[in-house]
Amino acid sequence: MNTQWQGRVAVITGAASGFGLEVARLAAQQGMKLVLVDVQAEALQRAVAELDALGAQTLAQVLDVSDAAAMDALGAAVQQHFGAPHFVFNNAGVGAGGLVWENSVADWNWVLGVNLWGVIHGVRVFTPLMLAAAAADPAYRGHIVNTASMAGLLTPPNMGVYNVSKHAVVALSETLYQDLALVTQQVRASVLCPYYVPTGISQSQRNRPAQWAAEAPTRSQLIGQAMSDKAVGSGKVSAAEVAAQVMAALDSGGFYLYSHPQALGNVQARWQAIVQGHNPPDPFAERPQVGEQLRAALRLG
């Protein structure tokens, strides 16, 4: 056990499954107090039961991270119950695909609401609490980790609404890192950019609220869903391995966290095109058969 984090407070959104649950398990092993947040009531109840059995002190909150008032109330509850958090994992996320002009207003509101506004609210609500704790105690240390994606560094086709949300999270996280550096050395930030890892994100439609109900899926959206199911389901890196990287960053202070660093070649190719003023590179250069299949399925005429 790393005693540095024993007794410290962790706030984890999307805590009932995937990266959130695996990070919660590791945080419990470190002796941290856990604030577990998820929109899935039954799954969250199971997670709390498991973590309570490990001896963790937990506070569970069922809420939608896109809801500003609910997140404000969460911040107040955390402050009252445990005090200022030391670790905030803004991790809740959903997935959606399809040709970018085919995404409905409801699609955009849902995906940006969870993936982007959820992170914005986490930063907006908890950073001031952490800074106040740092000002009051020179020994205080805090860390914020925001979950983005490799889709926040790349622009793969047929998943534009997701790409936009994750690019925004990367920009927010980089700016948060720089802003924190202006005012303190006691609170740091990281951004998690996983690639295809077996989690429940490809099935996130199950948690879509009625107010943003989906329309009948288009052909491109059905294809995008099938491709996502296959890619996520066949991922070789586990959510537990990614969670270990997240927890290690609390000690190392590393900012960019990658599940698949081998995918950075595609990022480098994109940035070279940007710097050199070239057109965007072929996203299927390493897997041309996938590109051929997708183009054949979606080609007009």
Positions marked active-site? 162
Which DSSP symbol is given to 283? T
The strand ranges marked E within the chain are: 9-13, 33-38, 58-62, 87-90, 142-147, 187-193, 256-258
The most distant pair of C-alpha atoms in the chain lies apart, rounded to whole Å, by 66
One-character DSSP codes across 72-119:
HHHHHHHHHHT-S-SEEEE-------B-GGG--HHHHHHHIIIIIIHH
Q: Is 104 exposed, middle or buried (0-12, 13-18, 19+ CB in 10 A)?
A: middle
From the list 3, 17, 163, 7, the residue with the least C-alpha distance to 95 is 163
Q: Does an H or E element contain 291, and which?
A: helix 288-298
Closest CA to 129 of 188, 79, 175: 79
N residues, the chain: 301
Q: What sign has the CA pseudo-torsion 101, 104, 110, 113?
A: positive
* H-helix or E-strand spanning residue 18: helix 18-29
Q: Can you tell me the distance from the alpha carbon of 276 to that of 156, in angstroms, rounded to the nearest whole number?
A: 20
Q: Which of 1, 4, 16, 109 is nearest to 61 (CA)?
A: 16
Helix (H, G, I), strand (E, B) or coil at 156: coil
Q: Any idea which residue has 């709390």 for tokens? A: 48
